[in-house]
Each structure stands twice: as C-alpha cells, then as structure tokens.
A and B are shown apart, each in its own frame.
Chain A
Amino acid sequence: MEYLIGIQGPDFVLVAADNVAASSIIQMKHDYDKMFKLSEKILLLCVGEAGDTVQFAEYIQKNVQLYKMRNGYELSPAAAANFTRKNLADYLRSRTPYHVNLLLAGYDEADGPGLYYMDYLSALAKAPFAAHGYGAFLTLSILDRYYRPEMHRGGERFILNLPSFNVRLIDREGIHDLEKLTLASFL
C-alpha cells in the first residue's frame, strides 16, 4: 500500500513518500518518485489510482507554473492548496472523478511552512502532521504522542514494511533532497 507522510516544523516541512509502483501483486518499479514540484518551495505528493495520480498532479503542476508565467510571481502554498481542492471538487461529481490522496507542502515567505492534507473527496485541512495509506494508522498515533511544534531537524523513525522512501525538506531556501531511506538504514 502506498504511503505518504508530512511533518511541519517551526521553519521547515519534512515530507516522505514510498518508492513503490505496484500493479496488484507485482512491484513494477522500486524507485518511483511520487513528489511533484509545483514551484521552488511547494511540493505535491500524490497517491491513489494508477493513472489518475500522474494525470491530476501534472495538471496542477502545469497550471501553477502557468500562473507564474502569466503573473510574474508564484502562487503561495495556501493558494495552491485551495486551487487543487477546487479542481478535485469540480471533478468529483463529474463522469471522471479523480481518485487521489494528496499532501501539499510548502514554505511561504509571509506565513512560514505549511502542510495541507487532502483526500479524494477533496477535503482540505491544514495540519501540523499528516499521513496517507495504511502506514498512516500506525504513524499518526506516534505523531500524536510525540509531536511538538518546536521540533528541530532530528531523525524520525517509521514502523513500516515498505523497502525505501524518498525524503525531502522544504524551508526558506527551497526544496532539499535528503538521504533516501531504506530498510537497511534502520537496522
């Protein structure tokens, strides 16, 4: 099952996604990147039905970039999240709804870091930490117990059965790739 997680700190947002692209029981790829860069400081993480994820995420990505080209400045994370939600909601009651679960993470100069949780029914919530997938059941309770808003950039441990993860961090300077987590790095 696909997994996404995001954690907001005082001046950064940390996001991680698993790397598996599966088709029923066969793993077709183990280095699949589920994060879409909307702008220099906004990342969209997308999981859900096979073609819908890429289709929807790329549509949002291109539209955000188009906004920048037309207006000369980028959308803020809050605006991008609401734009995404509106699109998802519009398609929800059409003949072709998109079945995707999203996390949108960004850093705004004025508002600071922000993490937005969105599900396939286009429910949007700004949250200090969020997760999608079966792994969410396990990690959300841990985060409920241990999360503090003034967390610094330490390491986090996840109890999961997925082989490897892409981890990225967004802060004032932009998006940074952190070391790819594999099971071996926890043993």
Chain B
Amino acid sequence: SALYSMALQDLSAEYLDESPIEFGQIRVVQSSSAMPSQDSMEPTFSLPIGLPLSSSHSVPLPFPMSHGTTTLAFIFQGGVLAAADTRSSCSGLVACPAAQKILPIHSHLVGTTSGTSADCALWKRILARELRLYQLRHGRRLSTGGAAKLLSHMLQPFKGTELSVGGQQCFGRERSGPSLYYVCSDGTRLKGTLFSVGSGSPYAYSVLDQGVQWGLTVQEAVSIAREAVFRATYRDAYSGNCVDLYHITSKGWTRRNREDLKEEYYREKERQRQKHKA
C-alpha cells in the first residue's frame, strides 16, 4: 500500500495519498508470527471478525460468529467426504465468491479451512512441508493423528494472538482406515467421525445429524453433504456461492466439479412452485 501510494505521488500530486482500495482485509493486520505477545497489538480486523459492522446492536448474537464459512467432513463406509462453500467474506462484504476452502495436503490427506483465509492457507502449506520432510526422513507417511498433533503443536505458541485457524483433516488409507480430526487454533484437537466448522455449521449439523450413518453409498453421502452445505448457505449470510466436494478413499482424493448453489436454489423454488400449483 505504501509503495502504491508513492507511485501515485510521483505521477501527480492531486491524487490521494493512500490507495482507497485494500484487497481482502479492511485494515492491515500486523504480522503476528514473530511476536506472540499481545502488548503491542491493538485489536485489528481480519477476515472475518466477531461482530459484523452493519448488524444492529439491539439483537446480540447467540455466540461469537467468527469463521464465516461452512465446512464439513464425515466418515462413512466409502471413505471420507469433505465439503465446503466457496464464499470468502470480510465483515459484510464478499471478498471472493470463488475461494477454495478445501486444500489438499498430499495425495491422501485433505484439510478444510475456516477462519482467516491467509492464516489457513499458510499453515496448510507449512503442514504440507513438514509432512513431506517427515516422509523423507522416516520413510513413511505420518498418520492423520500425527499430522493433526503436529499442526496443533505448531499453532500452540500463537494461542491468544489473532490467529484463527479451524480445520478438519481427512485421511483415507488402507492400513489404518479413514480418519478425521478437528484442529483449531485455540488448541483443540479432536478425533471423530463427523465435524462441521464455521458460522454455517449449526445449520449443516442439523442436516448431517439426520442423515449420516456408516452404511451410506457414495451417491447418498455426496447428496447429503451437498444438501448440508446448501442449507447452511441458504441461512447463513457468510456462506454461499458454490460448493466444493472432495472424496478421499484408500486410493487418494478425488474432487467433484464445483457446483453453483444458485442453480440448486432456483430448482428448489421451482419445485415448491410446482407443489403449490398441484
């Protein structure tokens, strides 16, 4: 931003001192990687923040709605399925309608992200690097539990800073079977069979709790995951646009084509209209 404004000044003195466009974040966030202490950092906005700027103060939120996203993952007989929306929001503004919230780490490990996009992307890359180093040093891949523990320990020094990472890691391998871990920047690390993270997670949970069981076929699982993300994007303002689906089996991950949920919404409206007509 400073460079940009300097360039502007060189061209003409009538232009603004600073660029009015700030991509992604409302305010520049100080890098927290070198300084875990809170003393010098004033509270800054990073995407997304706890309370949206435009909300009315008379109605308090039921719980702090950070992590403006909907991601989910569950284990079933056909492996692990991970799904996420693609809206990158920035306190009331859609910064990017086509973000990627599920990042593959290696051929058999996939991580979903929620919270600050930049933090998640960075830490996933760091995790990928560390896992590759482990594989080269020890000749075998680290298990999901180990990868989750590694990520959890790497994030631990930043506890209490503005870092916000919430992710699930899904792994499908023949020897130990599929596994799913939830890792959060506050230090939580949980092993489970069904997780959903983000502001849209309560809506996704209700759909998933109804339908997910071990014996689902791949088709059924995909449709439930899609439905859960769709319902969450319908209700949650900070989730939306498209849905990404990754299916992980012992042979690796496969990605379904990104699907625009706008079409699904119109199909649903059409169905309701037909029902009312009949």
Residues of A at the B interface (CB closer than 8 Å) are 21, 23-26, 28-29, 32, 49-52, 54-55, 95-96
Residues of chain A with a CB closer than 8 A to B182's CB: 28
The answer for the CA separation of A32 and B156 in the assembled complex, in Å, is 21
Q: Is the interface of A mostly helix, strand, loop or mixed?
A: mixed
Give chain B nearest CB distance to A121 CB in angstroms.
18
Residues of B within 8 A of A96 (CB): 159-160
Identify the B interface with A (CB < 8 A). Answer: 36-37, 62-64, 152, 156, 159-160, 182, 184, 186-190, 192, 195, 201-202, 205
User: Cβ of A29: which chain B residues have Cβ within 8 Å of it?
Assistant: 190, 192
A-B contact pairs, 25 of them (CB 8 A): A21-B188, A23-B184, A23-B188, A25-B62, A25-B63, A25-B202, A26-B201, A26-B202, A26-B205, A28-B182, A28-B190, A28-B192, A29-B190, A49-B186, A50-B184, A50-B187, A50-B188, A51-B152, A51-B159, A51-B184, A51-B187, A52-B187, A54-B187, A55-B156, A95-B37
Give the CA-CA distance A16 to B85 in the complex, in Å. 40
Chain B residues, CB < 8 A from A26: 201-202, 205
Interface centre among B152, B190, B202, B205 (most CB of A within 10 A): B190
A54 lies within 8 A of B202 (CB): no
Complex interface: chain B residues within 8 A of A49 (CB): 186-187
B202: which A residues are within 8 A, CB to CB? 25-26
Verify A51–B156 contact, CB threshold 8 A: yes
For B184, list chain A residues within 8 Å (CB): 23, 50-51
Could you tell me the distance between the alpha carbons of A29 and B194 in the complex, rounded to whole angstroms? 9
5 further interface pairs, Cβ-Cβ under 8 Å (given A21-B190, A95-B37, A96-B160) = A26-B202, A28-B192, A32-B190, A49-B186, A51-B152
A52 to chain B, nearest CB (A): 6
Complex contact A24–B64 (CB within 8 A)? yes
Point out the residues of chain A lying under 8 angstroms from B36, CB to CB. 95
CB distance from B63 to the nearest CB of A (A): 4
> Which residues of A have CB within 8 Å of B186?
49-51
- Tell me which of A25, A29, A32 has the highest count of chain B C-beta atoms within 10 A of its own C-beta: A29
Report Cα–Cα, A23/B159, bound state, in Å.
16
Q: How far is the CA of A23 from the CA of B202 in the complex (A)?
A: 11
